[in-house]
A and B are shown apart, each in its own frame.
Chain A
Amino acid sequence: MTVQSLAQKIIARAAGRASVQVGDIVTCNVDLAMFHDSSGPRRLKPMLEELGAELWDKNKVVLVMDHYVPAQDEGSRKIVQIARDWARDQDLPHVYDSQGICHVVVPQHGHIQPGMFCVGGDSHSPTGGALGAYMFGIGSTEMLGVVVTGQIWLRVPQTIAMHWSGQLSAGVCAKDMMLSMIARFGMNGANYEAVEFTGSAVRALSLPERMTLCNMSAELGAQTGLVAPDKITRAWLKAHPGPQTSSSPIHLPAIEDSELPPHADLHSDPGSIDVQHEFDANGLSPQLAAPHSPAHGVPLADHANTKIDVAYIGACTGAKLQDMQFAAQVLKGHQVARGVQLLLAPASLRDQALAERDGTLQILLDAGAQVLPSACGACAGYGSSFGDGQTVISSTARNFKGRMGPASTQVFLASAYTVAASALKGCIADPREVLA
C-alpha cells in the first residue's frame, strides 16, 4: 500500500480508488456543494434552465444567504429574492437565510464531517478543512457542473505541511499564525497545492481557530487547507449535530457516517508529506498586514503611530465567538479611543447569541462597539464599505486596493486582539501591552 496524505486519502475515496498519486487527474464524487446568494441561484438558475437540467441531489446542496443581506439597495434586494424564490421552487432542504456567513454557518449546523469531499461557491471554502474534510472553492459555472453531474475533476495536489511547534503566547492567535505564513510565502505561495496544518500549536487550537487557519489557506493560494481530526474535532462535532427538526427529521446532507473512513485513518501517513515548513509558535508576535495585500506583512511596531478611523471585527475569519472573546479580553472595562469607530459584524447569529449569553457582547457594547448584521458585510466589498481616505484595521481576510472602500481607503489586517487594542489606543497597537 502506498503511503497517502490526508488529502490523498479523502480524494481517493471520493474518486473511488484505493490510492491516488500527486499529479493524477481524477474525477471525484462530491459529498456536499455549498453556495451563497452571490455565487449561487442568480448564476445557477439561468444556466440550469439553459441546460434543461436538475440538481443531482438536493440533500447534498446547502444554500446560505450572506453576501447581499440585509439588502441595501434594489440590486441586492433582487439578488436575495432570486435566491429565496429558487430555494422555495426547488424545495431545498438546507437553506440558511441571514443566519451568518456560510463558512461558519454550514459547519455549525453539522453539514461537514471528517473525510467528506466538498466544494463551495466561495474562495474561503477551505474553512471546512478544519474538520478534516477536503473542501475547496469553485466558480459558478464549475458549480453548475457539480450540481448537474455530482462530480468534479481534480489534479491530486502535493501536501505541504505547515508544522507549528511550541505554544502561542497570550494575545497571539490563529490569525497571527496565518498572516505570518502569508507574509512568508505570498498570496500564491502554496501554488494551489493542499496545505496541512500540523504540530503541537495547531493541536492546541480550538476548532473555530483551526477554521481561521484553513479559511485563509485561500490567501496562501492553496486549493485547500486541512487539519487532521482529533478529540477536539470529535467534541466539536458532538456539540454541533447535523440538521434535524422535531417535525421532520432531515437526513444529513451528504453521506452516512459508516460510508466515511474512520477518523483514525484520517491523517497523513509518515512519508506522505511532500514539503514541510517549520514554525515556532513560542516566538510568534501579533502580526500586521499593511495595505493593499494580505501578504504585505510588516512589524506592528513600524505602525505604532498610525492613527485609525475604524476598527472592524468581522468576517468568517475574524468574528467568530472566540474572536469576539479575544476582543473582549482587551476591551473589558475600557472605552475605545475618541473618534474611533468600533464595528462588530458577528460571523453567525449562533455566535452572536453565545456572545450575548456569556457576557462578551456586553463588554464590547460597553466599550463602544456598534453591532452590524451577521453577514459578509464590508469584507466582501459588495456594498457597505469604508470612506474615502479612512484608515481601517480589520480582522477580515483581504485588504486589496478598492475592496473595502475607495482606492484611497487604507486597510490593515490583524487579529481581533490587535483590532481591539488599536480601537482602544486610537492607533495601531500591540494587544500584549494592553493585556499585560
Chain B
Amino acid sequence: MTQDSSPLPVTQHKIWHLPADVDTDALAPGAYMQHGIDVIAQHCLENLLPQFASAVKPGDVLVAGPNFGIGSSREQAAAVLVHLGVAAVIAPSYGGLFFRNAFNLGLLLLTCREIDLLQNKEQTIVYLRGQLVYLSPESVETNQPLVCAPVPDFLLAMVQAGGLLPHLKQQRALAAVTAHA
C-alpha cells in the first residue's frame, strides 16, 4: 500500500463531473464498436457530455456518481478513457466487470466514499499521489486524503505496468530469463 511517506509525486488534475450510473454503452457506443479505439473514443459520452471527447485533456480525472461503468463486458469502455489520456476515475462504486477491465488496461479507478466533497461543482481540480486523493494543496500539506478503498497491491502493480498485456510481457520475459539461467 502506498503511504504518505512514499516518494510518489503529487500531481494536479482537472476534474470532469459525471452523474451516477454511467454505463458502458455511454462510454463506448455500440454503433461504433466495429471500429478501432481511436474512432470509438471520438464518441465517448456523446449522449451525456457531447463536448467531452474533443475537450478532455491528457491527465484529466473523471469524478462520477455511483455505479460507474455498469453494463457490458466491452473493455473499450475503459480503453477509450485510456486513449483519451484520462489519468484516473474517482467514484463511490463501479460495475464489477468494468473495474477489472480498467485495471487490465492500465486505468486507475479510485473508490471514494467521500464523493460528495468532490462532486461539489466548485471543485475543478484534484490532487493525486499514487492512490491518495487530495482536495487542495493545503490538504496535501497536512496529509488529509479523502477516504478511498485501498487498491490491492497486485492491481496497483498492474496499473503501473500499463495493464495486463505489458504485465504478461514482463512475466514471460522474466520466465524466459529464469529458464535460461
The chain A residues found within 8 Å of chain B, CB to CB, are: 25, 38-39, 47, 50-53, 68, 73, 75-76, 79, 120-123, 125, 137-142, 144-145, 148-149, 153, 186-188, 191-192, 221-223, 293, 380-383, 385, 398, 400-403, 407
Is the beta-carbon distance between B21 and A293 smaller than 8 angstroms?
A: yes
CA distance A54 to B116 in the complex (A): 47
Identify 16 residue pairs between A and B in the complex whose beta-carbon atoms are under 8 Å apart, listed by A's number: A38-B33, A47-B165, A51-B169, A122-B73, A123-B97, A125-B73, A138-B97, A139-B97, A139-B104, A142-B100, A142-B101, A144-B165, A191-B96, A382-B34, A400-B71, A401-B47
The 5 closest A-B pairs by CB, nearest first: A192-B96, A139-B75, A381-B30, A139-B101, A75-B34
CA distance A401 to B27 in the complex (A): 12
CB-contacts of B73-92 with A (<8 A):
73-75, 78
Is the beta-carbon distance between B165 and A68 smaller than 8 angstroms?
A: no
Is the beta-carbon distance between A123 and B172 smaller than 8 angstroms?
A: no
CA distance A383 to B96 in the complex (A): 26
> What is the 8 Å Cβ interface bit string for chain B, positions 81-117, against chain A (1 contact, 0 not)?
0000000000001011101110011000000000000
Besides A39-B74, A53-B168, 11 other A-B contacts (C-beta < 8 A)? A47-B165, A75-B35, A139-B105, A142-B100, A144-B165, A186-B67, A192-B95, A192-B99, A222-B96, A385-B31, A401-B26
CA distance A191 to B104 in the complex (A): 19
Chain A interface main SS type: loop
Is the beta-carbon distance between B30 and A382 smaller than 8 angstroms?
A: yes
Give the contacting residue for A53; candidates B31, B105, B172; CB below 8 A: B172
Is the beta-carbon distance between A188 and B104 smaller than 8 angstroms?
A: no
Q: Is B152 an interface residue (CB 8 A)?
A: yes
Is the beta-carbon distance between B104 and A381 smaller than 8 angstroms?
A: no
Is the beta-carbon distance between B67 and A141 smaller than 8 angstroms?
A: no
Is the beta-carbon distance between B26 and A25 smaller than 8 angstroms?
A: no
Asked if A221 meets B74 with Cβ closer than 8 Å, knowing A142-B100, A192-B96, the reply is no
CA distance A400 to B105 in the complex (A): 24
Q: Output the least CB separation between A72 and chain B (Å).
A: 10
Is the beta-carbon distance between B164 and A400 smaller than 8 angstroms?
A: no
Is the beta-carbon distance between A402 and B75 smaller than 8 angstroms?
A: no
Q: Output the least CB separation between A366 and chain B (Å).
A: 33
CA distance A79 to B95 in the complex (A): 27
Most B CB contacts (10 A, CB to CB) among A68, A120, A145 go to A145
Asked if A123 meets B71 with Cβ closer than 8 Å, knowing A383-B31, A401-B26, A403-B25, the reply is yes
Q: Which residue of A lies closest to B67 (CB)?
A: A188
Give the contacting residue for B164; candidates A145, A186, A382; CB below 8 A: A145
CA distance A75 to B34 in the complex (A): 6
Give the contacting residue for A403; candidates B30, B73, B75; CB below 8 A: B30
Q: Output the least CB separation between A329 and chain B (Å).
A: 32
Is the beta-carbon distance between A221 and B96 smaller than 8 angstroms?
A: yes
Q: Output the least CB separation between A159 and chain B (Å).
A: 15
Which residues of the partner chain A approach B96 to less than 8 Å between Cβ atoms?
191-192, 221-223
Which residues of the partner chain A approach B35 to less than 8 Å between Cβ atoms?
75
Is the beta-carbon distance between A137 and B73 smaller than 8 angstroms?
A: yes
Which residues of the partner chain A approach B66 to less than 8 Å between Cβ atoms?
188
Q: Which residue of B lies closest to A120 (CB)?
A: B73
Q: Is B23 an interface residue (CB 8 A)?
A: yes
CA distance A53 to B176 in the complex (A): 12
Is the beta-carbon distance between B30 and A139 smaller than 8 angstroms?
A: no
The chain B residues found within 8 Å of chain A, CB to CB, are: 21, 23, 25-26, 29-31, 33-35, 47, 66-67, 70-75, 78, 93, 95-97, 99-101, 104-105, 152, 154, 163-165, 168-169, 172
Is the beta-carbon distance between B168 and A382 smaller than 8 angstroms?
A: no
CA distance A398 to B30 in the complex (A): 12
Give the contacting residue for A142; candidates B25, B33, B164; CB below 8 A: B164
Which residues of the partner chain A approach B152 to less than 8 Å between Cβ atoms?
25
Asked if A51 meets B71 with Cβ closer than 8 Å, knowing A400-B25, A402-B26, the reply is no
Is the beta-carbon distance between A68 and B34 smaller than 8 angstroms?
A: yes
CA distance A398 to B78 in the complex (A): 19
Is the beta-carbon distance between A187 and B70 smaller than 8 angstroms?
A: yes
CA distance A191 to B99 in the complex (A): 11
Q: Output the least CB separation between A6 and chain B (Å).
A: 19
Which residues of the partner chain A approach B168 to less than 8 Å between Cβ atoms?
51, 53, 144-145, 148-149
Is the beta-carbon distance between B105 and A121 smaller than 8 angstroms?
A: no
Q: Which residue of A lies closest to B93 (CB)?
A: A188
Q: Output the least CB separation between B175 and chain A (Å).
A: 11
Q: Which residue of B lies closest to A379 (CB)?
A: B30
Q: Which residue of B lies closest to A38 (CB)?
A: B33
Is the beta-carbon distance between B25 and A137 smaller than 8 angstroms?
A: no
Which residues of the partner chain A approach B31 to less than 8 Å between Cβ atoms?
381-383, 385, 402
CA distance A348 to B23 in the complex (A): 28
Q: Output the least CB separation between B122 and chain A (Å).
A: 28
CA distance A137 to B51 in the complex (A): 31
Q: Which residue of B lies closest to A79 (CB)?
A: B34
Q: Which residue of B lies closest to A68 (CB)?
A: B34
Asked if A402 meets B105 with Cβ closer than 8 Å, knowing A139-B100, A383-B31, the reply is no
Is the beta-carbon distance between B73 and A221 smaller than 8 angstroms?
A: no
Asked if A400 meets B26 with Cβ closer than 8 Å, knowing A51-B169, A188-B66, the reply is yes
Q: Output the least CB separation between A315 and chain B (Å).
A: 13
CA distance A367 to B26 in the complex (A): 36
